[in-house]
Amino acid sequence: MSQSYGKTRWKRFALVMVPSVAATAAIGVSLANSALAASFAVSGQQFKVTVEDLHGDRFSQFGGVDVEANGTRHPVAVSAFDSARLQNLCQSVVTDLSGFGLGKWTLVLKAGDSSDEAKQVHAENLLIDLNQLEADATFTNINIGQDASTLQGSAADKVRKIPAPGGLPTGPMGFSQTADTAHLTGVKQTAWATSAGTFTLNGLHLNLNKQEDGKTYECY
């Protein structure tokens, strides 16, 4: 079974699942009970990501909570892929150095800008903790509303084995969705954290740009 969805924007933590179920009240429960997807305290600073084309295998998604070192918690939608291929990846984060008299700077990372799949970005056990997403998406053999504790796949298993900070229970738990494959194009998202077992960045370019004259240099 294949299902296709149009563009959507997840602006709040209550809207963390696929478009057709974005308003499901059960998501609030999963956010309250889930755990950090990565084994580190997040910086408290979001970053932007764009991808021209993303193909992922053994996809799952569930609610979670990321925690800063100071204990501040952020509700997120955790997207997990056993493996993923990304074409034309861009990631940007803004750092304010005004306290040093340097103004604001944008760190921009780009990779995988090739139509040759072998030269694109490849990831294994990829976890993305996001709070906003726009994309055109197609899912194959999708289950919506599955209990997250029953999710299969190495990425979901990785989350279960990570000790959660801040006294939170381990996850995933609660409402989730899963699919054999996920294909997303025109991806725009903001995220708190990304982790992967391996992350191969072919054609990597990294630049640090000062924001001036209204130009931010962010991915979008």
pLDDT band at 40 (very low <50, low <70, confident <90, very high): confident
Parse the chain into domains and list their residue ranges. Answer: 2-210
Q: Cα-atom radius of gyration of the chain, to the nearest Å?
A: 17
Is residue 187 within 8 A of residue 51, CB to CB? The reply is: yes
pTM higher than 0.75: yes
Residue 169, SS3? coil
Could you read off the pLDDT of 208-220 as tens digits, one per residue? 999 999 999 999 9
Considering only 36-45, 90-99, 123-132, 153-162, which range has the smallest mean pLDDT?
Answer: 153-162
What pLDDT, on a 0 to 100 scale, did the predictor assign at position 28?
35
DSSP state of 46: -
Question: What is the rounded (10 degree) CA torsion for 171, 76, 135, 104?
Answer: -140
Cis, bond preceding 163 (omega within 30 deg of 0): no
Question: Which residues face 19 on adjacent strands?
Answer: none
